[in-house]
Structure 1
Amino acid sequence: MDLDLGITGPAQSDDLYHFTGRVGERPNDVPQHIQQMTPQQRLDAIIAERTLRAFPPFGVGFPCACFSESSPEHLAFLIKNRKVKPWGIVGSRNSLLRLGGGAVAYVPDEQYQYFKINGMAHWAVRIGTNSAWMHEREWRIPRQNGTITLNAVRAILIGDASWRPSLVETDEWVNAETGEPCQGPAETPHAQPRQNYPALWQESWVWVWNEDSKSVLKHPPGTLC
């Protein structure tokens, strides 16, 4: 059930972005093979598996998936000035709340220690010297088991209009010799699973970042298949 969160003001947004690429260090808990992936490869894996992987943010021991609340103007700022890559998934405030997420608190050291002592450091970000992160306008989904299943997303964000996710096997069969549908190996030894784009890609809006206009072009579900 959606909560009545009221309207957003001009400085706010109901679009929350989980970016799969950014310039800079990553927390040590992120496995090396994931750190070495490109933003496109990480997004490809999320779409295929319908799963977000949660890892402890810097200075926090609890796994979280992190999002940035971004209006169109703020999205352009993050990409241009904060070296975020235009690849990822887009959710809404209500969708994150339903998954047990919420907005983090930006607090000075003294208040941050209160969160930490009470085992809630993953709900706060320290502000002050060497900790300037308020521009991220961060939301988090804490998840002890480290995985979040995506039944649906508001949109998939890509930075190249020609990019498509990797094909995956479906429950349907096709004759590899003729290309015609078939009932499976019982019908012909040439049967192989039919491949198609992942369901999440087919079901979701796709937002393509346009570097010239510093905005996204929004494509309805199924139009980039």
Structure 2
Amino acid sequence: MRPYPLAQSLNPDLPDVLLHMTGRHGERHSSLLSAIAEMSPASRLGSILDMRTLWASNTFDTWCPVVCFTQTTRRAMASLNGRRFDGVGIAFHVQPVFDEGGGPALYVRGDEYDELHGSPTLSVQARSRMVRYWPGARPAQDTDPPLPRSLSGISEWLHEREWRLPRPASVTGDWGWKFQPEHVAFVLVPNATVLQELITDLGQRRAANGTDHTWLKGVPVASIVGSEWVFKEGLDVAAWT
């Protein structure tokens, strides 16, 4: 089966790019490699650009490693900068992520979650894209038994507009996604200081590994000014609204 290409520019609220942020605030899953956890957001981005690879990892409730993205707008990302994310990341055109098996997260009510998430009739990939959507609950009576985590815990993450690219061992042996230069739409850095850190990091990697970074010369860079993301003059970034 060969799916047709995805429709583009459906709505200003649905960008045609997916962002992979390299710095975020909040709890980290225990499976995250310490070598990655200890890097700064700029160094993580430098590693991704140097190796042209996004490493997948097990996140909360996934059945296999996944690569996570967000399909968010400039305005929404600006509002999350400093609160949820550090404003450092890389944007990909949506089509190659879809072609590799990625798709929007499957948001499932908490009172339906355990049945679907544990269903053996669904693929590992489908179950790994499931995200529980639930405000939490408590037993009807004080004497009732405790509720399972799927019902008692709070999980409301619609604002992340998450996409997941599952990478089970049956699909890939390296637990990652090796992307091509043409898959990259732009990179994000919040300010000139982080940009210089990224440039220095890439220079050190090039000196150590001899990696060819010439493809990066044509990649647009977005930085935040006030509450808006702006791009270098003359760069075509119409895909990110």
CA distance in 1 between counterparts of 2:63 and 2:6 reads: 32
Decide which structure has greater strand share. 1
Q: What TM-score, normalized by structure 1, do the two folds share?
A: 0.77
Q: Among residues 2, 5, 20, which one is paired with 1:3 in the alignment?
A: 5
Higher radius of gyration, 1 or 2? 1
1:147-201 deviation per Cα after TM superposition (whole angstroms, max 9, x unaligned):
111202111111233421422548xxxxxxxxxxxxxxxxxxxxxx996872442
CA drift of 1:16 comes to 1.1
State the distance in 1 between where 2:53 and 2:167 align. 12
The Cα shift of 1:35 comes to 0.9
Q: In the alignment, which of 174, 179, 187 is matched to residue 150 of structure 1? A: 179
Is 2:161 the partner of 1:125?
no
Aligned-partner Cα distance in 2 for 1:213–1:74: 9
- List gaps (5 residues or longer) in structure 1: 171-192
Q: Which residue of 1 aligns with 2:143?
A: none
The percentage of aligned residue pairs carrying the same residue is: 27
In the other structure, the counterpart of 1:12 is 14
Alignment partners' CA distance in 2, 1:32 and 1:58:
17
Equivalenced residue count is 197
Q: Distance in 1 between matches of 2:227 and 2:157?
A: 26
Deviation of 1:127 after TM superposition, in Å, equals 0.6
Cα separation, partners in 2 of 1:20 and 1:169, compared to 1, 3 Å: closer
2:155 partner amino acid:
S
Give the distance between the partners of 1:211 and 1:116, measured in 2 at CA: 45
Contact 2:79–2:227 (8 Å) recurs in 1: no
SS of 2:12's equivalent? coil
Q: Which has the higher helix share?
A: 2
Runs of 4+ in 1 over 6 A off after TM superposition: 193-197
Residue in structure 2 matched with residue 51 of structure 1 by the alignment: 53
**Is the 2:24–2:86 contact (alpha carbons within 8 Å) kept by the matching residues of 1?**
yes
Confirm or deny: 8 A CA contact 2:78 2:228 kept in the other structure.
Answer: yes
- Between the aligned partners of 2:209 and 2:93, the Cα distance in structure 1 is 33
After TM superposition, the structure 1 = structure 2 runs for residues 67-82 of structure 1, keeping only pairs within 5 Å, are: 67-80=69-82, 82=83
1:74-121 C-alpha deviation (Å, 9 max, x unpaired) = 1112215x4201111101221211221111111102432313323432
Specify the alignment match of 1:166 in structure 2: 202
- SS of residue matched to 1:125: strand
The alignment partner of 2:118 has SS state of helix
Q: Relative contact order (C-alpha < 8 Å, sep 6+): which is higher?
A: 2
Gaps of 5+ in 2: 137-153, 237-241
Contact 1:56 1:63 in 2 (8 A): yes
User: Retained in 2: the 8 A contact 1:101–1:141?
Assistant: yes
Structure 1 residue corresponding to 2:163, chosen from 119, 133, 139: 139
Give the aligned residue type for 1:142: P
1:39 aligns with 2:41: yes
What letter is aligned with 2:176?
Answer: T
In structure 2, distance between residues paired with 1:19 and 1:194: 24
Give me the TM-score of the superposition, normalised by structure 2: 0.72
Q: CA RMSD in A?
A: 2.6
